[in-house]
Amino acid sequence: MNPVERLLYHEVTYFMDRLATSVAPGATIPTTMTMRTRLDDADAELAAARAAMLESYGRWRRALEDVENLWALAAWRSTAAEEPREQPAALAA
């Protein structure tokens, strides 16, 4: 589980705890069509936002890796350019 997934898991767990303490015991799921539709829409929006965050985090990680790789390549090229080149041995005549 990556850091964003852990964060989202904790957020949902905290939300469920708050919901459990704010809803009266024995309360039923809203049965009016308007409320049910609004709950379904809000749930779908929450799922879409979660998916977008995870996708964005994946792009973030790949961008970090790209920058790290480019810095490593630049450092390697810099080191290679500074190393003295070996002079070929003089040919005996």
Specify the DSSP element, H or E, that contains 83. none
Q: What is the predicted pLDDT for the residue at 17?
A: 93
**Domain segments of the chain: what residues?**
31-79
Task: Please tell me the predicted confidence (pLDDT) of residue 31.
Answer: 75
How many Cα atoms are found within 13 Å in the side-chain-facing hemisphere of 30?
A: 10
Q: So what's the pLDDT on residue 35?
A: 87
Task: Mention every residue, 6+ apart, whose C-beta is less than 8 A from residue 39.
Answer: 30
* pTM as predicted: 0.67
What pLDDT sits at residue 75? Answer: 92
pLDDT tens, the chain, 93 aa long: 899 999 999 999 999 999 888 888 877 777 788 988 999 999 999 999 999 999 999 999 999 999 999 999 999 988 887 766 666 666 655
pLDDT of residue 92: 58
DSSP 3-state assignment of 58? helix
For residue 77, what are its two tokens?
Answer: 């090229």
